[in-house]
A = this chain, B = another copy of it.
Amino acid sequence: METGFSVVLPPWMQGFLRSGKGPFSSPEEKMRWVIDLSRLNVEYKTGGPFAAAVFEQNSGRLVAAGVNLVLVSGLSIAHAEITAISLAQKILSEHRLSSRSGGQYELYSSCQPCAMCLGAIPWSGISVLVCAAREEDARRAGFDEGDKPSDWCAGLEKRGIRVHLDLLRQEAAAVIQQYAAEGGILY
């Protein structure tokens, strides 16, 4: 019987991360980098058109990045946000980001989170969520976002997690639409 499970970044992404990773000076620069990752994930055929990254807020330093790896990992939890958050926790050795280091961490996502990833955010220790595409952009391409509370942004804000939406929305939505137009697998 299996006694554990793992999610591992694909080789192309390990190379991409080594090649250059900030520090990033503006929100747009961070998000453009994340959207590039979402596009590369499709081009390398390692998963759906979604990417996310955790940045240290003050320095603009990249901590960890993730892409949708459901198909290559064989795990339905391996969404971009879950992958980025979990890697950041491993790298910083804290299961709740900022609880030990005192740093503040931002999660940039190429698309608004699905119900699972939304639920994971408060447990992660993330202080800021920044999203590009809207959930309706994902839905329009055929992706299921799950059942979220209708006022989910307010729910995060109430917990002290700031939310910024629609940063470079069109660029991110275009990657999702392109994936769907080419008949990419929906799951």
Residues of A within 8 A of B (CB): 1-9, 14, 17-18, 64, 70-71, 73-77, 82-83, 85-87, 89-91, 93-96, 114-120, 122-125, 144, 146-149, 152, 155, 187
**Total identical chains:** 2
Contact at A119–B96, with CB atoms within 8 Å? Answer: no
Complex CA–CA separation, A118 to B3 (angstroms): 23
Q: Is the Cβ of B146 less than 8 Å from the Cβ of A119?
A: yes
Flag if A123 contacts B85 (CB, 8 Å): no
A127 CB to closest chain B CB, in angstroms? 14
Residues of B within 8 A of A155 (CB): 147
CA distance A27 to B26 in the complex (A): 54
A159–chain B nearest beta-carbon distance, Å: 8
**Contact call B6/A87, Cβ cutoff below 8 A:** no
- Contacting pair B95 A74 (CB below 8 A): yes
Can you list 19 A-B pairs, Cβ within 8 angstroms, ordered by A? A2-B90, A3-B14, A3-B87, A4-B9, A4-B87, A5-B6, A73-B95, A74-B89, A76-B85, A76-B86, A77-B85, A77-B120, A114-B119, A114-B123, A116-B116, A116-B123, A119-B147, A122-B147, A149-B149
